[in-house]
Structure 1
Amino acid sequence: MPSETTLFVEFQLHQVLDVDEKNGLWYTKAAFYISYFSDSVVWHPAEYNNISQLKFTQSEKIWTSDLVILNAIDIRYITNPDVYIIYDGFVSLKSSLIAVKLSCGYDVTHFPFDEQTCYFIIGSLFNPLVLYNLVSFSTEAVLKFYIENDQWELLRPVRVYVKRHVTQYEEFYEKFEAEVRLRRRPLYYIIGSQTFPLS
């Protein structure tokens, strides 16, 4: 694929599993789609028994980008990733549903009435200066599968955007970021700290 391939990114947040302020970590379930157009996989459905879409596993010989979650500490794959190809050349990689441990900086000055902001940062791990043209499908993460956390409220919307960075040699590269804002549920801690007399 050419070095300036346009990659479309969609981010889905499914669940915030845990927030570990002491160790600067947070745990979550998420998935993301990375898609692009390729002239090499265009066909006419009428010539192939009206087949308009193909599905492959990521392990088969189909080009996929080297984009990864850059601030991930550990990733556990819950489902298998798939690649879908539409007859017009649109290729979509559906990542597996993942449980991922990520780094995050916390400020607990206002505990237990604090809000925290953590990020998913997606970029090229091996070729950071390869100029993928990253495009977000939307300005917000997909939350239709989101399961609420009993200790942390997810503040909506979850903004997603592409940031362009420049090196000291004036070379450009891009990263896709999802900004996840969380508000602690103080009632959980206030009630938990109370001692109630026995009748």
Structure 2
Amino acid sequence: MKFAAAVFLALLGNAAAAEASEDFVSLAELEDSLLRNLFKGYQKWVRPVQHANDTITVRFGLKISQLVDVDEKNQLMTTNVWLWQEWTDTKLKWDPDDYGGITSIRVPSETIWLPDIVLYENADGRFEGSLMTKAIVRWDGTITWTPPASYKSSCTMDVTFFPFDRQNCSMKFGSWTYDGHMVDLVLVDHYVDRKDFFDNGEWEILNATGVKGSRRDGMYWYPFITYSFILKRLPLFYTLFLIIPCLGLSFLTVLVFYLPSDEGEKLSLSTSVLVSLTVFLLVIEEIIPSSSKVIPLIGEYLLFIMIFVTFSIIVTVFVINVHHRSSATYHPMAPWLPSEDVSASSFHKVAAAQEVERVI
């Protein structure tokens, strides 16, 4: 009896599994039929509108995931972002009741019409820079496409207050070929989405906002969306390894004048300080852009200290030379100097007194 019941339950389970399998295949067949009907005669190069003068409105948003690098030398900002785009394709509509309640499908973005939105200030030549991911198509023709992208955008750097500087970098997006009458852009959110942002160890994003603008070229106008990023440098690294050593070297320059003239390291210390400051100046030159418009204050400070150290070396050489004067190194006075009050014998007496002091 128990064996018969077990066999009955097994047969019942197999029947249920077979029915579920049939339902799954049926759903796949419905989606396959939907795709065939939607893309029958569909041309992805044609703007999907009912009338020629209709405008496609693209809702645009930006989400930043990582600030990869800020290259001050080449004036570049590298970011990883997600481009949120949504528009309506009038050719990709269907009735969910005709296809088993299917309300949305995922299709390769290469098979549908896409607004050719690019980054205008792209610095690496790859204006698209995005991965061709799948797009979500809903039954009412609404298409949502959120491709990830990695951009290198141009950014004018102001390094006056390096390393306590702030930079304002922008990213301008717009259609490459369509004017505002064909494709219009609408800003979804004035703030860049930073919920999944990965912190950068050198820079902090203080603010990231977007604004819509347009430019006119004759009879046509071209809309674009500009995102501005206010970046603040985290100065701890440069403070510990650049500013504090420079200040220490500056104080060493003053200590040169406290060394006795008999010490042989008096001149060597000044020369070592000058060489060290030169190395720090070369380090800064490798970081900041080669521009004559803006010179960082720390660079001006190092140049001033180098001039001061050079002057101290000259003074040190003069002091050492005078200190080691003796009768053997006596130089007669120039004939044009007055000799009534000062005679050569006076210098001989002074030199002899110095020799006696050294012996004692």
Sort the TM-score into its range (normalised by shorter chain).
0.7 to 0.9
Residues 1:15 and 2:62 are matched in the alignment = no
8 Å CA contact 1:136, 1:161 repeated in 2:
yes
CA contact (8 A) 2:174 2:225 kept: yes
Structure 1 residue 44: Cα displacement: 1.9
1:176 aligns to 2:225 (yes or no): yes
Q: 1:22 to 1:122 in 2, by over 3 A?
A: same
Q: Gaps spanning 5+ residues in structure 2: where?
A: 1-46, 246-360
Give CA deviations for 1:140-196 in whole Å, capped at 9, x if unaligned: 11111101111001113x1012112223x253110111111100111121022245x
Q: RMSD value over aligned CA atoms?
A: 2.0
CA distance in 2, matches of 1:99, 1:89: 29
Gaps of 5+ in 1: none
- Say if 2:210 is the partner of 1:160: yes
Does 1:72 pair with 2:125? no
Percentage of pairs with the same residue = 25
Alignment partner for residue 236 of structure 2, among 187, 190, 197?
A: 187
1:55 correspondence with 2:109: no
Please state if 1:92 is matched with 2:144: yes
Q: Which among 155, 175, 182 is matched to residue 104 of structure 1?
A: 155
Q: How many pairs were matched up?
A: 191
Do the aligned partners of residues 77 and 165 (structure 1) sit closer, same or farther apart at CA in structure 2, a change above 3 Å counting? closer
Q: Residue 45 in 1 paired to residue 92 in 2?
A: no
- In structure 2, what is the Cα distance between the partners aligned to 1:99 and 1:107? 24
Q: Give the TM-score taking structure 2 as reference length.
A: 0.50
The structure whose residues are more often strand, as a share, is 1
Q: Secondary structure at the match of 2:145?
A: strand
In structure 2, the partner of 1:149 is: 200
Contact 1:29 1:100 in 2 (8 A): yes
Amino acid in structure 2 at the alignment position of 1:39: T
Q: Which residue of 1 aligns with 2:77?
A: 26
User: How far apart are residue 4 of structure 1 and its match?
Assistant: 2.2
In 2, the alpha carbon distance for the partners of 1:88 and 1:9 equals 19
- Does the 8 Å contact 1:16/1:28 carry over to 2? yes
- TM-score, structure 1 length as denominator? 0.87
Q: Secondary structure at the match of 2:230?
A: strand
Please tell me whether Structure 1 or Structure 2 has the larger radius of gyration of its CA atoms. Answer: 2
Deviations for 1:77-100, whole angstroms, at most 9, x for unmatched residues? 6854221111122111221x2222
Summarize deviations over 1:34-78 as a string: whole Å, max 9, x none: 111233222221211111111111112x11111111111235968
2:115 partner SS: coil
Aligned match for 2:165, one of 114, 123, 126: 114
